[in-house]
Amino acid sequence: DQQVKQNSPSLSVQEGRISILNCDYTNSMFDYFLWYKKYPAEGPTFLISISSIKDKNEDGRFTVFLNKSAKHLSLHIVPSQPGDSAVYFCAVNYNQGGKLIFGQGTELSVKP
């Protein structure tokens, strides 16, 4: 049973435009949400997180939006750069700690 779903396996965006990556979850008990970025042959790198008490968190070019009623979160990257090309994973957990439950990932390709 997939508790965290990223329904788009891939996304292609032009440099300078906005990239929007989506993630859905099934369990309303999840209360902490994270995005990680992963390059081939490397480990995931933490990008940004959001607690369930917020609906938006921004860090530079990266913004995460949380819609609790829809059990949906999204990551906006603007403007997108070729160096952003990577696989993006959303992850969730309970009480901001312990095991992370990951989505399957979305491969972002930013074209010059």
Partner 1 sequence: NAGVMQNPRHLVRRRGQEARLRCSPMKGHSHVYWYRQLPEEGLKFMVYLQKENIIDESGMPKERFSAEFPKEGPSILRIQQVVRGDSAAYFCASSKDYKETQYFGPGTRLLVL
Interface residues with partner 1 (CB under 8 A)?
4, 6, 34, 36, 41-46, 49, 89, 91, 95-105
State how far the Cα of 77 lies from the Cα of 61, in Å rounded to an integer.
5
Distance of closest approach, residue 54 Cβ to partner 1, in angstroms: 16
Distance of closest approach, residue 48 Cβ to partner 1, in angstroms: 10
Distance of closest approach, residue 80 Cβ to partner 1, in angstroms: 22
State how far the Cα of 38 lies from the Cα of 97, in Å rounded to an integer.
21
**Residue 85 contacts residue 45 (beta carbons within 8 Å):** no
- The nearer residue to partner 1, 9 or 82, going by C-beta atoms, is 9
**Residue 55 contacts residue 64 (beta carbons within 8 Å):** no
